[in-house]
């Protein structure tokens, strides 16, 4: 979703169609994930960084928060 503000302005039918397109809605964000939960729902997966104050090269941070493609893929497959 390139812009939440524009998506939120769409009709309820359109939003439901997009969000109900699959059984699992996933968000991946290189920052806090709470604002994605209104889209992913209770059964969705949210990947991101919900912990403030960590500092390191991005690859180390991504590995620490399990944001590598391998880790994300594994968790999605487990949920399916």
Dump pLDDT digits (tens) for 25-38. Answer: 999 998 899 999 99
Q: How many domains does the chain have?
A: 1
Q: HSE of 73 in the Cβ direction (CA atoms, 13 Å)?
A: 3
Q: Using 50, 70 and 90 to split pLDDT, how confident is the model at 73?
A: very high
pTM of the predicted protein model: 0.83
Question: Is the confidence at residue 53, as pLDDT, over 80?
Answer: no
Q: What is the mean pLDDT of the chain?
A: 92
CATH of residue 44's domain is 3.40.50.920
The CA distance from 16 to 30, in Å, is 25
E strand residue ranges, 1-80: 26-28, 45-47
The CA distance from 74 to 76, in Å, is 6
Cβ proximity of 78 and 26 under 8 Å: no
Q: Is residue 13 part of a domain?
A: no
């Amino acid at each position: 979703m390139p812009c939440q503000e524009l998506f939120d302005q769409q009709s309820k039918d359109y939003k439901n169609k997009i969000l109900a397109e699959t059984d699992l809605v996933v968000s991946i964000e290189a920052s806090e994930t709470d604002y994605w939960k209104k889209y992913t729902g209770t059964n969705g997966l949210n990947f991101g960084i919900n912990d403030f104050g960590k500092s390191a090269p991005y690859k180390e941070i991504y590995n620490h928060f399990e944001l590598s493609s391998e880790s994300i893929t594994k968790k999605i497959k487990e949920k399916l």
